[in-house]
Amino acid sequence: MKPVSRSGEHPHLPNPLDDYHTNDEILALFQGWQTTYPTLFHYESIGQSVQGRTMWVAKLSDNVATDEAEIEVKYVANMHGDEVVGKETACASSRSC
C-alpha cells in the first residue's frame, strides 16, 4: 500500500511526510493482518483521543487469544500525536515478525 502524498506548497521538493502512513492506512494494515494471521495478530480500540480519533492497540503473539505467562514487550508507538516515527517503527517491526 503506497502512502498518500501530502505535498504542499513546494511540489518540486520532496515532502518527508509522503512516506508516513495515515491512520486509515494503519487501520487497513491491522485489518489485513488480523484477517491473514488470526492466531498471531489481534487489534482493538481502547477508546478515542480528545480529538475523537480511534486509538488502537495491537497484540502479536504465537497464541494471540491467550494471556500466557511469558516475557512480554510493550511498545508505545505514539507518545505524542505529532511524532510519527514511533508508529512507523511499530508498523515496520510488525511486518518483520
In a domain, 35, yes or no: yes
**Is the pLDDT score of 80 beyond 60?**
yes
pLDDT tens digits, 5-38: 555 555 666 666 667 788 888 899 999 999 999 9
Find the domain containing 75 and state its range: 16-95
Q: How confident is the model at residue 90 (pLDDT cuts 50, 70, 90)?
A: confident
**Would you say residue 1 lies in a domain?**
no
Is the residue at 79 inside a domain? Answer: yes
Per the structure, the count of domains in the chain is 1
Contact indicator for 65, 86 with CB cutoff of 8 Å: no
Residue 75 lies in a domain: yes
Q: How much of the chain is helix, strand and coil, in % rounded to 5?
A: 30, 15, 55
Between 57 and 20, residue with greater pLDDT: 57
In a domain, 58, yes or no: yes
